[in-house]
Structure 1
Amino acid sequence: MTFSLPAFLCVTAAYIGSFVLVILLIAPVQKTVFPQGFELGSLIFLPHGVRILSFLFFGWMGFIYLLPGSVLMWIVLAYGAGQVGYHISGTAVSLISCYVAVTLACRLFKNVWASSGRFSWQQVMIAGVFGSVMSAAGFSALNFSPPSLLIMLSHIIGDVIGLFVILFLLMIMFRQIDRFLTKTHRLN
């Protein structure tokens, strides 16, 4: 697969945008709903969906497309949000975990995807769960001694819900585009 500047810009913008939504919208709502503190992670972590879809559509090139946004968001979290204790290697762990998960899911569902020529949202969700479990285990092992099962579970929940929300929003967006194009086509 060759490098594509539009894909690079789209993935980077989607990753940064999804992270900004988590920081500016989801986190404040989460703090309001859980005032005693649910500071283990975001209950709706949208960037996981961007990672999974990037690797699904672009394969290993997803690393190149995701890396700038991932590093930038790590810098924002580590230095801007004061979460200095988190390792930059956590970024690599999450990217590698998602890539491995998508690769495993593609191999697992190879016959299904080959016969239909496309993939289903259920298969994407399975890849997302695989990636989330690996990423959460790696994140917990890197940042906590001993690794925390509670942290892992909160990350898995946030990742899976985030992926589902991304898929749902994309479905709505594509339906609206389809309606618009159909309506425009009828007018011509």
Structure 2
Amino acid sequence: MLAISRRFFFTKNIFAVVFIAYCASYFFVEFLVFPVQMAVGSPQTTYASLLFLPHGMRVLSIWLYKERAVIPLFCGHLFVYPLFWLGEFSLTALALVLVGTFCVPMAFVLVDWIGFDVSVRNRKVKHWRSILMVGFIASIINSLGNSLILSPYIEPSLHLSILATYLVGDTLGVFSLLLILLLSFRLARKYGV
């Protein structure tokens, strides 16, 4: 039991970074990406985003901090879901929180089980490719879980398009976040920050 608690132990700095980054990315999607999607007329806007940056935050947090990021991510999910689900917190919302929180750790376990080392310490792999691959696998898990949970609320003709939107949005969220970080680091190096 002590070994498990050590694995999930996090400092207040880890908690703050993961929690704030996840919540900020969620607010960005809610107040910028969703309105653009609605203006374009996407029929599945209330269920899925074509650019879901919080998925990128999940993947990077778990990649960097491993199990120590699970509790801060779970708390971040618990914080933002009631804000955007019209203040209600139901079993459906809790199930979505659990799927969103655990899809990335499940993907990392699956990749590790296959024998592919995507850890920060492994210098033999291109990390951005590994992160994108794990993000895609986690997106498949997340897409299937969310589609299953939300199936009573989704019009049957939209099931496949919403599943695809989850998959595309999560994967583009990981890719976009990696691109933003890459450009930020290059600018920081260029200007000596």
TM normalised by structure 2 equals: 0.82
Q: What whole-Å deviation, never above 9, does each CA across 1:102-144 have from its counterpart, x for those lacking one?
A: 2323454228976526652111111001101011111111121
Q: Deviations over 1:57-80 (max 9, x none)?
A: 111111112122111111112125
- How big is the alpha-carbon RMSD for the aligned residues of Structure 1 and Structure 2? 2.6
Which moves more between the two structures, 59-68 or 164-173? 59-68
What is the identity percentage for the equivalent residue pairs of Structure 1 and Structure 2?
25
CA distance in 2, matches of 1:8, 1:23: 22
Asked if residue 87 in structure 1 is aligned to residue 93 in structure 2, the reply is yes
Q: Which residue of 2 aligns with 1:63?
A: 70
Change (3 A) 1:132 1:23: same
Q: 1:101 aligns with which of 107, 122, 127?
A: 107
Aligned residue type for 1:105? V
Q: How many residues align?
A: 180
Q: CA offset at residue 29 of structure 1?
A: 1.5
Matched residues in 2 for 1:126 and 1:31: separation? 29
Superposition map of 1:13-162 within 5 A: 13-32=20-39, 34-35=40-41, 37-39=43-45, 40-80=47-87, 86-107=92-113, 108-110=115-117, 116=123, 119-145=126-152, 148-162=159-173
> What TM-score results when the alignment is normalised by the length of structure 1?
0.84
Question: Given the alignment of the two structures, is residue 177 of structure 1 paired with residue 183 of structure 2, yes or no?
Answer: no
Counterpart of 2:178 in structure 1 is 167
Gap runs ≥5 in structure 2: 1-6
Q: Helix, strand or coil for the counterpart of 1:43? A: coil
Partners of 1:125 and 1:163 within 8 A in 2: yes
Aligned residue for 1:156, secondary structure, equals helix
| Cross-structure match for 2:13 | 6
Q: Which runs of 5+ in 1 are unaligned?
A: none
Name the aligned partner's letter for residue 152 of structure 1. L
